[in-house]
Amino acid sequence: VFSTMPRGIRRLLRLRRTRAGTLGEIDEELTSLIDARIEALTAQGMSPADARAEAMRRLGATFDQARAQLHRSATLRHRRMRIRELFDDFWHDVRYGARGLLRRPAFTIVAVATLAIGIGATTTIFSAVNTLLLRPLPYDRPNELMLVSLEAPSVGGRPGEPVEIWSYPKAQEFRRRQTVFSDLAYYSWEPATITGGEPELTRVEHVTASYLPLLGIKPAVGRGFDRLLDDRPEVAQEVILSDALWQRRFKANRDIIGTALHLDGVPYTIVGVLPPGFLGLTGQGNLLVPVTAGTTRRLSQPQNHWLDMVARRKAGVTDAQMRVTVAQLGREINEIFLTADMSGAPWGANARPLDAVRVAPLIKQSLLILFAAVAFVLLIACTNVANLLIGRASTRHREIAVRLAIGASRGRLVRLLLAESSLLAALGACAGLAVAAIGIRALAAVDPTALRMPRFDGVGGLTLSLVTLDWTALAFAVGLTAIVGISFGLVPALQATRASLVDAMKDGGGRLGHGTSASRRILLVVEVAMALVLLASSGLMIRSLAKLLSVDPGFDARNVLTVRLTIPPRGMAQDSMPAFHSEVLARLRGLPGVKSASLSSCVPLGGGCSQTLIKFLDRDPVPEGQRPLVEVDWVTPDWFNTVGVPLRRGRGFSATDGVAAPKVVVINEASAKKFWPNADPIGKRIGLGVDDLEEGAEVIGVVGDVRQLADSSAMPAAYVSYLQSPRPTAMVFVKSTRDIATLGPEVRRALREVAPVFPIHDMQFLTERVAAATARTRFSAVLLTLFAATALSLAAMGLYGVMSLAVAARTREIGIRMALGADQRRVQRAIVGEAAALVSVGAAFGLVMATIATRALRSLLFDLTPTDPATYGAILALLAGAAIIASWLPSRRAARVDPVDALRAE
């Protein structure tokens, strides 16, 4: 029977020649051949005994040998055949799977897209989390690296600063005395302009020669700085280029080594090029120059703090030993550099692992929240795929029943179903890889300066552009979706194989079995709930961002260039400062297109600068400790005008409010409201705990509020005039009518002419500073929104799938209802109503989950509680809209059912 059966049928029934069967056939054939020869020989007249002997001789071997030989060959052949069949089966399965997928392009596209989004998004974000939070820092033996800082004590109500930077003399002293580090290096970044050829504003890292060897970074081209420089600080005008600058400005030309590069007009010899991706620990090192190059004056100023210190802990030194030693050295250094004006508590020093400060806490939090969000997306993708596969399996009950009826084994069926799921998983993985690759590129393209972490807020060198595809994350995401998808797709199929064949084949209406229908509904509820959590989170972030951007910060940042100008200690007598500042501003106002130029001690939205205690001279004195605090900023008279802060009452400062004139202050509206709720503050006398204002100053005007922080309303503030209370540090504000992009070099040159030796640094557009203040919120909001949109569309697709299958399964029922007189609208309403019920249950669960989950967002929200009713209202409306669309399409199909067709169909 077996060999007469066509191969196709044999394959269909999965019947296979067994090895034992083959060997039996061989024995039979061998015997038959010998018998035939004996018969022929006896027919020729030979005696039976002779005939047998002759037949055995003609065999060519003994019977046993011949038989064993044939058996051995047959076994080998059988093994080869099995392998070939396995391979054939594999291809057959793949073709079967591909045919199945091609036959339902909509299902395939939805499933692959779902997988691609889930896998791609998870992989992207996890790659970022891994690079920024988890992976060891990309330096040599990173766990030994320490950030060594000075500690400032708390002064007059201001909290202490645990992470302070170093002056060069203090750092050198520390270096000489310390015993716990095998090596240490200082670094600091500054803006600089590459001159000669196209001028280019860039950022330069000043580093010791020990810096690169300490981190284990070797120049890709050329050499590093000579280590002897660190001990004999003779000025070496050498520069090392970053790979990016080298590629862009010098077209990766190796011959530039040894040639000159001009920085702010000073020639430096190019000695090396950094490896790709390394921009120094600050992330600002487009160029590296020795710490001793450039402004040399500060090398001898013990109170000019401008350096960060990184050190490598000696092997064998414990954490405790290190802490004790560093603290002790901090006290010693405080003693050595004690100055008359440094009253109060002593400064100290501490060391903390570089890894612990790698990323600003807010960035870390945002990333973790994004990671949670993306995990939700992955889960939703999983439920969606499971849902799709359950639907797919349930439409195949009949096919499965037929296959079982003609004798296919359960294992074989499972393999067939697996073939399709696996093919789907493979396609999804490929598409997911593509999505992840694009996502990681997009992350790297996020303007790094917009996300730049403020000083001390982590290793700036750790940026999103360093994020690389994490294959483990990809494998995990693919594995999870595959396992979830396959198990959900397989279980109902297996249940189907267990069900009565007769029932399955007979019952046309049973295509959507009760079990699978229920599990699909549960999955849908879960999916909706999770989507709602994501929607709520992103809704809150968007509302928060909108509020943040819509609040009037109180000033106009357009067309304003800012740069820090610092008079170093003992650089100038305090009395000369007003004249100097006036000269600086006069020079800047003389530049073409400059509308106004002024100074302020503080940048708006920069987090505030200094606070002091305020007292009211016309009121009873309040006990010490209960006196209110105000922000105090120094400005020149023109500043309010430069940044467009309106004068509300009284007058602003004038040039005549000088050192010798009566003391005057301007306050903001918040101060007026808080301190004089029912009175006119103009003319009132207050005392401020700064300089000589303790004795009293007259309030002459009230100006509009300027926010110190982007995410909170303005604090009470008092403004003091630079011309009356001179200060060495200032931020220069220049407002121009022309394109300020070209203004930078001119402002720098003008400042250099007036103040050739004073540090001029941190040049930025005011708009940049404002953008930086909202960058993190914007970044999180954009990504969360992306994930929420994904989640919503996945949930809508899931709903659509469930509802269209439900409609398909109930075609006959709907036909009967319509035949009995139900009108189209009623049928449609029933379908949409069913969907609404499912979505409502999901939304209810989702709301509960969301109120818990969004608590994690609290610290990221601006002026918004995590349970903001408006946000929840909006997202529920959005969800309802998506649900209606997703169920309306199948409902329309249901309403168009022709009763006659529907009843005839089965």
Partner 1 sequence: VALLKGTLDVLVLKTLSWTAMHAFEITTWLEERSDKRIVVDDAALLQALHRMEERKLIAAEWGVTKNGRRARYYRLTTAGRAFLGSESERLVDHFDALTTVLSSKKA
The residues of the shown chain that bind partner 1, judged by CB under 8 A, are: 3-4, 25-26, 28-30, 32-37, 39-40, 55, 58-61, 65-66, 69-70, 73-74, 77, 80-81
Minimum CB–partner distance for residue 70 and partner 1 (Å): 6
CA–CA separation, 243 vs 287, rounded Å? Answer: 9
- 74 or 549: whose CB is closer to partner 1? 74
Kindly tell me which of 33 and 617 has the beta carbon lying closer to partner 1: 33
- 637 to 66, 578, 643, 899: CA distances (angstroms): 115, 12, 12, 85
Q: How far is the CB of 13 from partner 1 (least distance, A)?
A: 19
Closest approach of Cβ 40 to partner 1, in Å? 7
- For partner 1, give the closer residue by CB, 26 or 782: 26
How far apart, in whole angstroms, are the C-alpha atoms of residue 778 and residue 546?
A: 9
Pairing outcome for strands 266-273 and 238-241: parallel
Q: How far apart are CA 186 and CA 178, in angstroms?
A: 14
271, 225 in Cβ contact below 8 A? yes
With respect to partner 1, which residue has the nearer C-beta, 35 or 753? Answer: 35
Paired sense of beta strands 729-736 and 697-703, if any? unpaired
Q: Rounded to the nearest whole angstrom, what is the least distance from the CB of residue 24 to partner 1 in the complex?
A: 12
Q: Measured from the CB of residue 901, what is the shortest distance to partner 1 in angstroms?
A: 48
User: Measured from the CB of residue 8, what is the shortest distance to partner 1 in angstroms?
Assistant: 15
Minimum distance from residue 59 beta carbon to partner 1 (Å):
5
Please report the DSSP string for 775-792 in residue order. HHHHHHHHHHHHHHHHHH
- Considering beta carbons, is residue 54 or 813 the nearer one to partner 1? 54
Instruction: Tell the smallest beta-carbon distance from residue 93 to partner 1 (Å).
Output: 23
Which residue lies nearer to partner 1 by CB, 8 or 197?
A: 8
CB of 11 to partner 1, least distance (A): 16
Nearer to partner 1, 30 or 754 (CB): 30
Looking at the Cβ atoms of 3 and 859, the one nearer to partner 1 is 3
Least spacing, CB of residue 15 vs partner 1, in Å: 17
- The distance of closest approach from Cβ of residue 4 to partner 1 in the complex, given in angstroms and rounded to an integer, is 7
CB of 32 or CB of 737, closer to partner 1:
32
CB of 39 to partner 1, least distance (A): 7
CA end-to-end span of the chain, whole Å? 37
Residue partners of 496: CB distance under 8 A and separation at least 6: 393, 394, 396, 397, 400, 401, 504, 513
Taken as a whole, the chain contains a residue count of 906
List the one residue out of 863, 557, 600 whose CA is nearest residue 713.
863
Pairing of strands 181-195, 611-616: unpaired
| 55 or 760: CB nearest partner 1 | 55
Q: Nearest-CA neighbor of 318 among 180, 430, 185, 124?
A: 180
Phi/psi at 43 (nearest 5 deg)? Answer: -65, -30
Under 8 Å between Cβ of 563 and 762: yes
Q: Which residue has the tokens 């009843």?
A: 903
The CB-of-46 to partner 1 minimum distance in angstroms stands at 15
Helix-helix angle 766-809:105-129, to 10 degrees: 150
CA nearest to 777, candidates 426, 478, 365, 490: 365
- The residue among 307, 325, 195, 182 whose CA lies nearest residue 249 is 195
For partner 1, give the closer residue by CB, 59 or 414.
59
* Number of alpha carbons in the 13 Å side-chain half-sphere of residue 413: 26
> Phi, psi (5° rounding) for residue 434?
-65, -45
The smaller minimum CB distance to partner 1, of residues 2 and 471, is found at 2
Instruction: Name the 3-class secondary structure at 205.
Output: strand
φ, ψ of residue 354 in degrees (nearest 5): -60, -35
Nearest to residue 882, comparing CAs of 842, 851, 826? Answer: 842
Q: How far is the CB of 66 from partner 1 (least distance, A)?
A: 4
d(CA 391, CA 804): 10
Q: Which is nearer to partner 1, 35 or 901 (CB)?
A: 35
Q: Are strands 647-650 and 594-600 parallel, antiparallel or unpaired?
A: unpaired
| Beta-carbon contacts of residue 306 (< 8 Å; ≥ 6 apart) | 165, 166, 167, 168, 188, 298, 759
Q: Which is nearer to partner 1, 24 or 265 (CB)?
A: 24
Give the DSSP letter of residue 155.
Answer: B
Instruction: Report, in Å, the least distance between residue 21 CB and partner 1.
Output: 12
Min dist. Cβ of residue 25 to partner 1 (A): 7
Nearest residue (CB) to partner 1, 36 versus 338: 36
DSSP assignment of 391-424 equals: HHHHTTHHHHHHHHHTT--HHHHHHHHHHHHHHH
Q: How far is the CB of 32 from partner 1 (least distance, A)?
A: 5
CA distances from 547 to 119, 544, 597 (A): 33, 5, 31
Cα separation of 506 and 398, whole Å? 9
The nearer residue to partner 1, 71 or 314, going by C-beta atoms, is: 71
> What stretch of H or E contains 348?
strand 348-353
Give me the amino acid identity at 91. Answer: W
HSE (side-chain half, CA atoms, 13 Å) at 806: 30
At its nearest, how many Å lie between partner 1 and the CB of residue 30?
7
Distance, in Å, from the CA atom of 906 to the CA atom of 902, rounded to the nearest integer, reads: 8
Closest CB to partner 1 among residues 17, 829: 17
Distance between CA 613 and CA 686 in Å, rounded? Answer: 10
Task: Supply 621's token pair.
Answer: 């004195």
Nearer Cβ to partner 1, position 33 or 837? 33
**Is 687 in contact with 696 (CB distance < 8 Å)?**
yes
Smallest CA-to-CA distance from 306 within 178, 145, 154, 186 is with: 186
